C-alpha cells in the first residue's frame, strides 16, 4: 500500500482490507500517534463534506502532520478557470499526500495520474467512496465479530449512492447476501448487479423494507438530491423510505443500522436511542480508519 493512491476499493485485496481494519483497531486503542510530524497533507474538497473532511483532518492532526487545502472550490483558482490537472500538479509540489473529493466520476483516477504524490479518493461523483467503505467494513466487523456470511440490506438511493457501490464490491470478498431495496428510479445499476452475478453473490431486489428479520446490517442511504437532473423526480422519490423505531421490533439482536450520513428524512429521530442504531459511532470510526489508511500509504505502519 506504501506510496499507492487509493481510488477505488478494488485497489485493495482482501488481505490489504483486513490489514487496514487491524491498523484501525490499533489507532482506536491509541489514537494519538504523531508519526508524521515532518509531513503536509492537502485536503481538496471541490464538493461539500462534513464527516469525510473533518475526520480526515482529525486523523492528520492526530498523526502529527499539518493540513493545507480548501473546503470549497469557490475559494480556489478553479473559479478563475484553472484546470484540475494544473491544480493537482501544483498541490503535489506542496504536499506529501492529497485527499480529494470532486463531483466528477473518474476525477480521482485522473488526479492520481497527474500527481507526484499519492491521492486518496474522498468521493468522486456517484462512482466510489473507498475510505467510507473501509470505515463501514470496520464498523461491520466490530459489531458482528466477522465480515463473513452476513445478510446486508441496502436501502434508498442505490443508483447515485457511491457508498453502496464501494461497499458491495468490498463485501464480495466475504460471501454476503444482499437485499437491494429501492424504487425503480433509484435501483442498483446493472453493472453492479452483473458484478454480483459474476462473483456468485446472492442478491434480491425489492421495493419495500420487508424481510428485515433476516438482516445483520441495515444500510440506509440518503436520496442524493444533488445528482438528480430533474428536480421533480427528486421530489417524487425523496421520502420513499423512512425507518421508524417500531420497524426494528422483530429484527435480530445483532442487527446494526448503518448510514454514511448526512441523513435527511430516511431515519426517524426515534431510532437514535435504539441500541441497534450505530451511525454516529460509525462516523467516529472514520477517524481511526482514515489514520490507518494514511499511515499505511505513507509507509509508517
Ligand atoms: N459520509 C460522508 O461522505 O459524509 P460527508 O458528505 O459529510 O463527508
Q: Which atom of ligand 1 is nearest to the CA of 123?
A: 3
The catalytically annotated residue of 52, 87, 133, 163 is 52
Burial 152-178, CB ≥16 within 10 A → b, else e:
bbbbbbbbbbbbbbbbbbbbbbbebbb
**Centre of ligand 1 from the C-alpha of residue 200, in Å:** 31
Active-site annotation holds for 87? no
Map residue 28 onto helix, strand or coil.
Answer: helix
**Centre of ligand 1 from the C-alpha of residue 198, in Å:** 30
Asked whether the beta carbons of 216 and 150 are under 8 A apart, the reply is yes
Query: What is the structure's pLDDT at 228?
Result: 86
Residue 58 among known ligand-binding residues:
no
Query: What is the structure's pLDDT at 234?
Result: 84
Q: Is the CB of 280 under 6 A from ligand 1?
A: no
* Mean pLDDT for all residues in the chain: 96
Q: What is the mean pLDDT of residues 253-279?
A: 97
Which among 188, 122, 195 is positioned nearest to 161, based on CA atoms? Answer: 188
* Residue spans of beta strands (DSSP E) within 7-116: 40-45, 66-70, 97-102
Query: What is the structure's pLDDT at 295?
Result: 98
Residue 51 among known ligand-binding residues:
yes
Q: Is the CB of 282 under 6 A from ligand 1?
A: no
Residue 187: other Cβ atoms inside 10 A: 17
Residue 129 among known ligand-binding residues:
yes
pLDDT at 237 over 90: no
Asked whether the beta carbons of 205 and 187 are under 8 A apart, the reply is yes
Query: What is the structure's pLDDT at 126?
Result: 86
Q: Report how far apart, in Å, the C-alpha atoms of 145 and of each of 16, 128, 138, 141, 254 are.
A: 18, 26, 10, 5, 10
Q: What is the model's pTM? A: 0.95
Query: What is the structure's pLDDT at 233?
Result: 85
pLDDT at 224 over 90: no
The percent of residues in the chain predicted with pLDDT above 70, rounded, is: 100
Asked whether the beta carbons of 161 and 226 are under 8 A apart, the reply is no
Residue 132 among known ligand-binding residues:
yes
Query: What is the structure's pLDDT at 239?
Result: 86
Rounded Cα distance, 120 and 111, in Å: 10
The percent of residues in the chain predicted with pLDDT above 90, rounded, is: 91
Which three three-digit cell numbers place residue 279? 451511525
Active-site annotation holds for 214? no
Residue 72: other Cβ atoms inside 10 A: 11
Q: What is the mean pLDDT of residues 229-236?
A: 86
Q: What are the φ and ψ backbone dihedral angles of 148, each rounded to 5 degrees?
A: -85, 140
Sign, CA torsion 86/89/93/95: positive
Position with higher pLDDT, 237 vs 150: 150
Rounded Cα distance, 84 and 229, in Å: 23
pLDDT at 62 over 90: yes
Active-site annotation holds for 173? no
pLDDT at 226 over 90: no
Q: What is the ipTM of this complex?
A: 0.98
Out of 101, 121, 123, mutate this one to test ligand 1's pocket (max ligand atoms within 8 Å of CB): namely 123
Amino acid at each position: 500500500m506504501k506510496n499507492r493512491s487509493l481510488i477505488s476499493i478494488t485497489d485493495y485485496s482482501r488481505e490489504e482490507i483486513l490489514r487496514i481494519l487491524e491498523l484501525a483497531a490499533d489507532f482506536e486503542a491509541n489514537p494519538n500517534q504523531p508519526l508524521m510530524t515532518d509531513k503536509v497533507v492537502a485536503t481538496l474538497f471541490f464538493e461539500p463534506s462534513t464527516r469525510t473532511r473533518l475526520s480526515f483532518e482529525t486523523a492528520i492532526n492526530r498523526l502529527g502532520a499539518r493540513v493545507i487545502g480548501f473546503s470549497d472550490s469557490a475559494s480556489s483558482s478553479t473559479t478563475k478557470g484553472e484546470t484540475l490537472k494544473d491544480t493537482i500538479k501544483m498541490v503535489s509540489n506542496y504536499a506529501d499526500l492529497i485527499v480529494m473529493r470532486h463531483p466528477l466520476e473518474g476525477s480521482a483516477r485522473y488526479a492520481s495520474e497527474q500527481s507526484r504524490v499519492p491521492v486518496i479518493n474522498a468521493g468522486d461523483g456517484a462512482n466510489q467512496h473507498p475510505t467510507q467503505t473501509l470505515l463501514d467494513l470496520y464498523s461491520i466487523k466490530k459489531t458482528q465479530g466477522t465480515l463473513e456470511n452476513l445478510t446486508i440490506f441496502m436501502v434508498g438511493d442505490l443508483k447515485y449512492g457511491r457508498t453502496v457501490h464501494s461497499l458491495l464490491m468490498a463485501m464480495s470478498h466475504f460471501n454476503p447476501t444482499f437485499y437491494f431495496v429501492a424504487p425503480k428510479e433509484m435501483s442498483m445499476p446493472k453493472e453492479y448487479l452483473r458484478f454480483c452475478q459474476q462473483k456468485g453473490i446472492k442478491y434480491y431486489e425489492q421495493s419495500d423494507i420487508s424481510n428485515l428479520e433476516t438482516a445483520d446490517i441495515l444500510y440506509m442511504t440518503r436520496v442524493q438530491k444533488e445528482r438528480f437532473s430533474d428536480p421533480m423526480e427528486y421530489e417524487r422519490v425523496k421520502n420513499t423510505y423512512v425507518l421508524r423505531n417500531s420497524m426494528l421490533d422483530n429484527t435480530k439482536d445483532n442487527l446494526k443500522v448503518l448510514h454514511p450520513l448526512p441523513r435527511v428524512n430516511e431515519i426517524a429521530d426515534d431510532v437514535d436511542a435504539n441500541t441497534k442504531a450505530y451511525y454516529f459511532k460509525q462516523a467516529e470510526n472514520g477517524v481511526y480508519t482514515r489514520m490507518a489508511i494514511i499511515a499505511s500509504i505513507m509507509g509508517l505502519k
